[in-house]
Amino acid sequence: MELSIIAGAAFTIVGFLAIWKLEVVSYIYAVRLTADGIEFCLLRFWIVRRLPYSEIESVGIQRGWGGGLFAYNFKNRLFKTAFLIRKRKGWFTRRILVTPASDSELLRALANAHVPVAGAAEGRAPKEGSPR
């Protein structure tokens, strides 16, 4: 009985730490939307890459934590819809997975830039959750 209580407490602590780690990750790296593209940031202020909307071939809505083995993984929000960005050119970073703070803002920015989004037109657009 004591062993099961200790094991249960250990799994609970590990679970809380895993969720906390995922929450902290959203402060370590993030994506920001601008008028002409998407910025990939570290520590929310250091821009490491700018991706103009003109370089985006298409975007797909991903459910769950899947998304492909050969994609640059920029997902950092637990229980949020991920978007798979396919660039027109590139090799290693031609496919990028992101979880923006606001799904609707990303969809609006992509629509304004005339970037096709697979899944959004069929009524499968993600539901807006709390921005983290």
Domain of 40, CATH number, reads: 2.30.29
User: Does residue 99 lie within any of the structural domains?
Assistant: yes
User: Does residue 127 lie within any of the structural domains?
Assistant: no
Query: Please, which residues bridge with residue 118 across strands?
Result: 60
- Which tens digit of pLDDT belongs to each residue from 103-124? 999 999 999 999 999 876 554 5
User: Does residue 95 lie within any of the structural domains?
Assistant: yes
Q: CA 71, 73, 77: angle at the middle one, nearest 5?
A: 145
User: Does residue 128 lie within any of the structural domains?
Assistant: no
Separation of alpha carbons 106 and 90, rounded Å: 22
pTM of the model as a whole: 0.70
Q: What is the pLDDT of residue 54?
A: 95
DSSP string spanning 51-68? EEGGGEEEEEEE-TT---
pLDDT at 132 over 70: no
What is the chain's length? 132
Query: What six digits make up the tokens of 118?
Result: 């697979």
User: Does residue 102 lie within any of the structural domains?
Assistant: yes
Range of the domain at 97: 2-118
Q: Which amino acid is at 107?
A: L
- Which tens digit of pLDDT belongs to each residue from 24-82? 556 677 889 999 999 998 887 899 999 999 999 999 998 765 556 677 777 777 778 88
User: Does residue 132 lie within any of the structural domains?
Assistant: no
User: Does residue 67 lie within any of the structural domains?
Assistant: yes
User: How confident is the prediction for the chain on average, in pLDDT?
Assistant: 79
User: Does residue 34 lie within any of the structural domains?
Assistant: yes
Q: What is the pLDDT of residue 70?
A: 77
pLDDT at 22 over 70: no
Share of the chain above pLDDT 90, in %: 32
Domain count, the chain: 1
